[in-house]
Amino acid sequence: MADIAPIWQPSQERIKASLLSEFMSHLAANGRSFADYSALHQWSVVDSKAFWLEVWNYCDVIGSQGQCITGDSIVSGRRYCAAADTKWFPQAELNYAENCLSYAYQHPDGIALWFRNENGNTQKLTWQQLSDQVSIVQQWLEQNGVTAGDVVAGYLPYITESVVAMLATTSLGAIWTSISPDFGIDSVLERFGQVNPKVLFCCNGYTFGGKSHRLEHNNAAIAAQLPHLNNICQIEYLQQRNDSDDFNDSFSDWQAILQSYQARGIEYHRVSFNDPLFILYSSGTTGQPKCIIHSVGGTLLNHMKEHQLHCDIQPKDRVFYYTTCGWMMWNWHVSALASGATLIIYDGHPFYPQPQVLWQLAEETQTTLFGTSARYLAELENRLFSPSDYYSLNHLKTICSTGSPLYPEQYDFVYQHIKSDVHLASISGGTDICGCFILGVPTLPVYRGECQSSALGADIAAYTEQGVATLTEPGELVCRNSFPNQPIGFWQDFSGKKYFAAYWQKFAGVWHHGDEIQATSAQGWRFLGRSDTMLNPGGVRIGTAEIYRQVNAMAEVQDSIAVGYQQGNDEVIALFVKLAPGCLLTDELQTKLRQQLKTRCSPRHVPAYIVAVDDVPRTRSGKLVEKALKQALHQQTITNMHAIGNPQSIDEAKVRFFAQLT
C-alpha cells in the first residue's frame, strides 16, 4: 500500500504550468475533457489511435501524416490491440533529425549542447553550430555512399561528435547504431558484425576515473573485420599522442572533414514512419546479442510524449542524463532536442575527480532535469555526500532514475539531501522499446518507494503465470495494447519468429519482456526484479529487489546480488555482498543480515548462504546479471561473458560460493 501521505506533491502553480495540463486543455478545446490523470490514461489506452494522433498534433511533429486521417491511416495490421504486426501511421513520412534540429530556426544562437568531461574540458555548441556540423558530416556520408536504409555505426563515448554523427546519419534516412568504447574487440564485432555498417565513427581513446584508454589498436582490428565499410572516421578525442601510438593514417579525421566542406541547408530525407532509425542491442548475457530495430516515427513520437507530458521538458530547459552511447537512455536523451531542450553531457567517471562533479555541472548549467540511476544515488548515500549542502539547484525541477528499482530509503535521501521540492520519477522501460512503460507524472504526488504511473497510451498490467491480471499479487509486467514504439523486429529475423517468441508468445499476443511488478493502492507500481530470476524458496516467489532494498541500506554493505540455488528438491537463496571498506563478513554481521531480512521481509527471504565478494557482476550499463551468476553456480555454460562489464566477478563469486559449500 502507498504511504498515508505523499513524500512530495506538486504545487498548484506547477501543475498549472505543466505541459501535461496544457495537453489536457488542448484536448478539452477539441471536445475531450478529463477530470484527472487517471481518466486521461484510461482514454489513452481505450482509444489509442485518437490519443497518438493528438500527441502528434500537440507536440508539433514535423512530417506528413498521410492523405487522410482515418483509423486505417493511423493503425494497420492483421490484428489490432497489441498484435506484433501492427503498423502505426502507415501513410506518414518524417525525418528524425529534422525534428531534433527544428529549434535551430527559432533560436540559432541558443545553446544546443553543453559538454564536459572528467578532465574539465568543456564545449558548447549553439543550435546553428550543431546544424552546420550536421550539414558537413551529412555531405561526407553522402560522398561515402550512405543512403536511406544503410547502417552507420559509432564506437564512441558520449561526446558532441556522437550527437552530430547520429543526426547526420538519420538526416539521410540511414540507420544509426552505437556502443560505448569500453566494449572490447570481440564484443564490438558480436554486435556490428551482424548489421554490416557502411561507415564507422570511432575515437582514438577516452579517459575514465583518471586513466586513459587508447583505442587505435581496437579500431584497426574492428575495421579489418567489417568487410562492408566504405570509410572510417576517427575522432582525436585524446589530444596527447605518444610516438608509439598505432595511428592508422588511412582513417578519415573528424577535424579534416569539418574543414573540407561548407555548411549548407541540411537536406532531410523523409522516410516512412515505420522505417528503421536505430539498432539497439540486448545485453547478450544468454547468447549472441539481439539486434533490436526501432522505427523512426515510433521512437520520435514516443520520446516526445515521454519528454513533454511525463517529464515536463519545455523549450530552453536543460536536460542532463548520465549515460553512454551503449545504453538506450542515450538515444532517449538526444531526442530531447526535439522538444527544444539543451543537452547537458558528461563523459567520465561520475565521482571523478570529486563526488560532487555531476552536481557542480548541474548547478553551473542550470539543469532542469537530472537523469541518473538508482545505483548512483545509492553510491552518493554510501559516500555520505549531500549535494544540498553545496548547491542550491534552484532550476532543478525533475530527477529521473532508471536502470534498477529505486528503494524507499533512496526517496528519503533525495528529498533530504538533494532537494526537497523536486519531482522524483522512478522510470522503467528498456532497450526492447527504446522508451518507458512506467513513468513519472508531474501533476501527481510522489509516494515513497513507488513508480507513479503507467505511461500514457500503454495498458500496463501485472499478469500471473496463468495470464490473469492481478491488482494484489506480484506478476509479470505486460502491455495489453499496441504502441507505436514497439520494435520493428530483429535484424535479419526475416520471418519474425524470434521477435514474436521474445515478446508476444508467452501471453498470446500480449507484450511481455520479463519484469516482475506489483500494483499499489495509489495506482502506481513497485518493481520486484526480473521475472526470469525470481527467487522461489519453498515454492514462494520472491523478488530480488525486496532483498536488495534491505541489504543495501545497511552501512556495512556497498552492493549485493541474490540468486536461487537448487539444493535437493528445493531452491535456497545465495546472497553475495560487496562490503564497505574496513568491514568483514563476521558471524555477527551474517546474523545481522539474516535478522534484517527476517524481520523486515519474512523468513522466506533469509539466505541459506552469504558470501563476501570483491565486486558484484553487472552489465556494462550497470544492471545486475543475476541469470549469469545463477548459471555459473549450477555449472551451466554462460553463453556470452563479453556482455558482463566485470566478468572476473562471476568466477570470484563461484569460487567463493563453492568454498563455503565444502
- 90-104, 382-396, 539-553: which range is least confident on average? 539-553
Spatial CA neighbour of 444 closest among 11, 44, 42: 11
366: left (phi over 0), alpha (psi -120 to 50) or beta: left
Confidence at residue 82, expressed as pLDDT on a 0 to 100 scale: 44
Peptide bond into 607 cis (omega under 30): no
Q: Residue 406 pLDDT more than 70?
A: yes
Spatial CA neighbour of 626 closest among 578, 585, 576: 576
Confidence at residue 66, expressed as pLDDT on a 0 to 100 scale: 83
652, exposed or middle or buried, with CB in 10 Å at 0-12, 13-18, 19+? middle
Confidence at residue 287, expressed as pLDDT on a 0 to 100 scale: 63
Percent of the chain at pLDDT above 90?
75
Task: Give Rg (Cα) of the chain.
Answer: 24
Confidence at residue 93, expressed as pLDDT on a 0 to 100 scale: 97
**Under a CB-based contact definition with an 8 Å cutoff, are residues 202 and 215 in contact?**
yes
Confidence at residue 284, expressed as pLDDT on a 0 to 100 scale: 66
HSE-CB of 44 using CA atoms within 13 angstroms: 24
pLDDT tens-place string over residues 324-353: 999 999 999 999 999 999 999 999 999 999
Cell numbers found for residue 147:
543512403
Show the CA angle centred on residue 616, arms to residues 612 and 619, nearest 5°.
165
Mean pLDDT of the chain: 91
pLDDT tens-place string over residues 514-548: 888 999 999 999 988 777 777 877 666 677 877 88
Confidence at residue 1, expressed as pLDDT on a 0 to 100 scale: 41
Determine the Cα–Cα distance for residues 124 and 117; give it in Å rounded to an integer: 12
Confidence at residue 624, expressed as pLDDT on a 0 to 100 scale: 87
Residues in the chain: 662
Taking the C-alpha atoms of 629, 635, 640 and 643 in order, what is their torsion angle to the nearest 10 degrees? 20
- 12-26, 160-174, 636-650: which range is least confident on average? 636-650
Confidence at residue 2, expressed as pLDDT on a 0 to 100 scale: 46
Confidence at residue 623, expressed as pLDDT on a 0 to 100 scale: 80
pLDDT tens-place string over residues 434-469: 999 999 999 999 999 999 999 999 999 999 989 999
Confidence at residue 529, expressed as pLDDT on a 0 to 100 scale: 76
Q: Residue 15 pLDDT more than 70?
A: yes
- Pairwise pLDDT comparison (125 vs 621), residue with the higher score: 125
Instruction: Read off φ and ψ for residue 477, nearest 5 degrees.
Output: -65, 130
Q: Residue 603 pLDDT more than 90?
A: no
Determine the Cα–Cα distance for residues 594 and 365; give it in Å rounded to an integer: 45
Q: Residue 586 pLDDT more than 90?
A: yes
pLDDT tens-place string over residues 33-67: 999 999 999 999 999 999 999 999 999 999 999 86
Q: Residue 212 pLDDT more than 60?
A: yes
pLDDT tens-place string over residues 250-294: 899 999 999 999 999 999 999 999 999 999 998 765 567 899 999
Confidence at residue 239, expressed as pLDDT on a 0 to 100 scale: 79
569, exposed or middle or buried, with CB in 10 Å at 0-12, 13-18, 19+? exposed
- Pairwise pLDDT comparison (598 vs 411), residue with the higher score: 411
Average pLDDT over residues 178-184: 92
The single residue listed with the C-alpha cell 520479463 is 514
Q: What is the reported pTM?
A: 0.87
